[in-house]
């Protein structure tokens, strides 16, 4: 029998005691494991929330963030100093326009061309009051349901029926910025990206728009009485994005009667850490001439609540590990003291300290691994309710995120308490490592005691 197997066998010498030790260790390790899962889940949520905010600041005309009437649009000259601020990686200026698509059948609902209609937040919100409307020969690529979605009118139902669909145009210095078309992705599937600063009548259309209108790269269509050539076709992830035609900024400025105006600008900072400072710098430079929107403070407030949960989870995790170490430490001290004579005999017949220590370490590791198995089961069962309980008793659950653009808030912040506490492989490995650390620390105590056993003393009483 090897020294390790002898140590493992010794762990079962007193079965009642072994069961008790494993139960106590299992509970401590289970709590530690549940807290580790909770900590990791909350940290992941926090990271997602922060990254969802992104390292961007949006600048719009006065009233842009409050949802009220929009003030005077900014000019490129006013925005020019922003690009030179420390920590600014880029400034994407854009403007929006609309083109009417006449309704040809009465079987579908219609968007009104004005009057009492108002629009959902996003691209529509940056339309200048009294904006010069264009016309186009493009067919509306979306559904009637989307065309009327979010439509507010008095009295309901909307009367009279809308008489035309609206296709949006977006002119931007960065034509590939998805945010300008109310989407989170914009991938070119054919053709080449247009220059955002050219005066050429070129455009980028969505795959849906291209399909509905039979457009390919090189095809043409008309808008605002001008003929545009399709330079690229992009794929995007929202209906609003599909409904939008992207043109160079100067072209749309000219056609929509917004020359030398910018409806909004998205400033990208070099890092998330620069965001608070850059935001306040922009506010200082532009003053009341602009509305500056950043979710950074919302995110910081929201994650501070999650940080509280993380702290509790971490403290409990440390407490549970300390408890496990203390339990195993005391158990091993008790076992070594109980077997002092046996250790003395082993030393007397020629066993070096090292071999005896290995034997007792194997015993401690056996207890720990049995406790670990039980602890994993307990932890896996308890992790989700424990995490939910911790989050529900923190401020994170009451956070709505309703502060941002037109009261919509950041989607990631509105669902902050929706945390999925699951054990990943990394968490399991960390748990195993922590358990082995527990065994090592407890074994170190027994090793120290073993090294102090003097056979002559323990055998004297024999």
Q: Which residue, 290, 188, 285, 182, is CA-closest to 230?
A: 188
Q: By C-beta, is 282 or 365 nearer to another protein? A: 365
Rule CB under 8 A: say whether 1 interacts with another protein: yes
Q: Is the dihedral of CA 30, 36, 42, 44 positive or negative?
A: negative
Q: By C-beta, is 7 or 54 nearer to another protein? A: 7
Q: Which one of 4, 8, 9, 319 is in contact with another protein (CB under 8 A)?
A: 9
* Segments in 65-165 forming alpha helices (H): 76-79, 144-148
**Which of the residues 242 through 281 are near another protein (CB under 8 A)?**
none
Distance CA 97, CA 180 (A): 12
CA distances from 251 to 144, 196, 216, 261, 295 (A): 29, 9, 21, 12, 31
Q: By C-beta, is 348 or 377 nearer to another protein? A: 348
Distance CA 206, CA 240 (A): 10
Q: By C-beta, is 336 or 427 nearer to another protein? A: 336
**What is the nearest approach in angstroms of another protein to the Cβ of residue 385?**
42
Q: Are 398 and 392 in contact (CB under 8 A)?
A: no
Distance CA 415, CA 93 (A): 30
Q: Is 150 left (phi over 0), alpha (psi -120 to 50) or beta?
A: left
Helix (H, G, I), strand (E, B) or coil at 312: helix
**What is the nearest approach in angstroms of another protein to the Cβ of residue 459?**
7
**What is the nearest approach in angstroms of another protein to the Cβ of residue 351?**
6
What character string, x for contact with another protein (CB under 8 A) and - otherwise, covers 331-370? ----------xx--xxxxxxxx--x---------------
Distance CA 283, CA 371 (A): 57
Q: By C-beta, is 29 or 453 nearer to another protein? A: 453
Tokens encoding 106: 């009465």
Distance CA 182, CA 244 (A): 9
**What is the nearest approach in angstroms of another protein to the Cβ of residue 391?**
49
Query: Of the ranges 5-13, 184-192, 206-214, 398-406, which one interacts with another protein (CB under 8 A)?
Result: 5-13
Query: Of the ranges 6-14, 81-89, 104-112, 382-390, which one interacts with another protein (CB under 8 A)?
Result: 6-14
**Which of the residues 81 through 120 are near another protein (CB under 8 A)?**
none
* Segments in 161-238 forming alpha helices (H): 207-213
Distance CA 451, CA 445 (A): 10
**What is the nearest approach in angstroms of another protein to the Cβ of residue 438?**
25
Tokens encoding 170: 């977006």
Tokens encoding 148: 């009327």
**What is the nearest approach in angstroms of another protein to the Cβ of residue 9?**
7
**What is the nearest approach in angstroms of another protein to the Cβ of residue 352?**
5
Q: Which residue, 150, 145, 138, is CA-closest to 245?
A: 138
Q: By C-beta, is 8 or 89 nearer to another protein? A: 8
CA distances from 461 to 15, 341, 388 (A): 28, 9, 58
**What is the nearest approach in angstroms of another protein to the Cβ of residue 455?**
5
Q: Is 54 left (phi over 0), alpha (psi -120 to 50) or beta?
A: left
Q: By C-beta, is 226 or 341 nearer to another protein? A: 341
**What is the nearest approach in angstroms of another protein to the Cβ of residue 372?**
24
Cβ neighbours for 438, distance < 8 A, ≥ 6 positions apart: 29, 321, 324, 325, 328, 368
**Which of the residues 11 through 40 are near another protein (CB under 8 A)?**
13
**What is the nearest approach in angstroms of another protein to the Cβ of residue 461?**
9
**Which of the residues 416 through 455 are near another protein (CB under 8 A)?**
454-455
Q: By C-beta, is 352 or 411 nearer to another protein? A: 352
CA distances from 32 to 313, 367, 373, 415, 436 (A): 9, 16, 13, 26, 13
Q: By C-beta, is 3 or 200 nearer to another protein? A: 3
**What is the nearest approach in angstroms of another protein to the Cβ of residue 449?**
18
Q: By C-beta, is 235 or 341 nearer to another protein? A: 341
Query: Of the ranges 9-17, 52-60, 113-121, 217-225, which one interacts with another protein (CB under 8 A)?
Result: 9-17
How many chain residues bind another protein (CB under 8 A)?
23
Positions touching another protein (CB under 8 A) are 1, 3, 6, 9-10, 13, 341-342, 345-352, 355, 454-456, 459-460, 462
């Amino acid at each position: 029998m090897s020294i390790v197997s002898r140590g493992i066998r010794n762990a079962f010498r007193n079965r009642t005691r072994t069961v008790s030790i494993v139960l106590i260790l299992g509970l401590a390790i289970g709590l530690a494991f549940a807290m580790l899962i909770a900590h990791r889940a909350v940290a992941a949520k926090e990271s997602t929330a922060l990254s969802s905010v992104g390292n961007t600041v949006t600048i719009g005309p006065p009233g842009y963030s409050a949802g009220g009437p929009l003030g005077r649009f900014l000019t490129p000259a006013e925005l020019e100093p922003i690009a030179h601020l420390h920590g600014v990686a880029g400034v994407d200026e854009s403007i929006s326009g609309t083109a009417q698509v006449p309704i040809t059948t009465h079987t579908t609902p219609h968007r009104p061309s004005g009057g009492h209609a108002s629009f959902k937040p996003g691209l529509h919100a940056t339309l200048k009051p009294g904006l010069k409307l264009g016309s186009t020969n493009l067919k509306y690529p979306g559904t009637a349901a989307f065309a009327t979605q979010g439509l507010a009118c008095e009295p309901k139902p909307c009367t009279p029926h809308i008489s035309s669909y609206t296709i949006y145009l977006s002119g931007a210095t960065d034509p590939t910025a998805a945010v300008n078309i109310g989407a989170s992705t914009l991938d070119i599937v054919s053709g080449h990206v247009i220059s955002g600063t050219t005066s050429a009548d070129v455009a980028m259309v969505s795959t849906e728009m291209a399909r509905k209108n039979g457009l390919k790269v090189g095809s043409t269509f008309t808008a605002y009485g001008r003929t545009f050539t399709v330079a690229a076709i992009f794929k995007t992830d929202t209906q609003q994005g599909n409904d939008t035609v992207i043109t160079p900024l100067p072209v749309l400025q000219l056609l929509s009667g917004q020359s030398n105006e910018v409806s909004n600008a998205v400033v990208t900072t070099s890092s998330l850490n620069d965001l608070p400072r850059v935001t306040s710098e922009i506010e200082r430079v532009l003053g009341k001439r602009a509305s500056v929107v950043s979710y950074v403070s919302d995110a910081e407030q929201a994650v501070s609540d999650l940080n509280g949960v993380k702290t509790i989870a971490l403290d409990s995790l440390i407490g549970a590990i300390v408890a496990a170490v203390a339990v195993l430490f005391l158990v091993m001290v008790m076992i070594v003291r109980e077997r002092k004579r046996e250790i003395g005999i082993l030393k007397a017949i020629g066993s070096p300290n090292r071999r005896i220590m290995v034997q007792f370490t194997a015993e401690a590791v056996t207890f720990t691994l049995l406790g670990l198995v039980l602890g994993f089961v307990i932890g896996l069962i308890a992790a989700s309710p424990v995490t939910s309980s911790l989050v529900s008793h923190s401020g994170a659950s009451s956070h709505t995120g309703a502060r941002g653009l037109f009261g919509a808030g950041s989607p990631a912040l509105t669902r902050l308490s929706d945390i999925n506490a699951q054990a990943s492989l990394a968490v399991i490995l960390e748990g195993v490592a922590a358990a082995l650390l527990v065994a090592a620390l407890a074994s170190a105590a027994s090793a120290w005691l073993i090294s102090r056993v003097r056979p002559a003393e323990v055998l004297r009483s024999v």
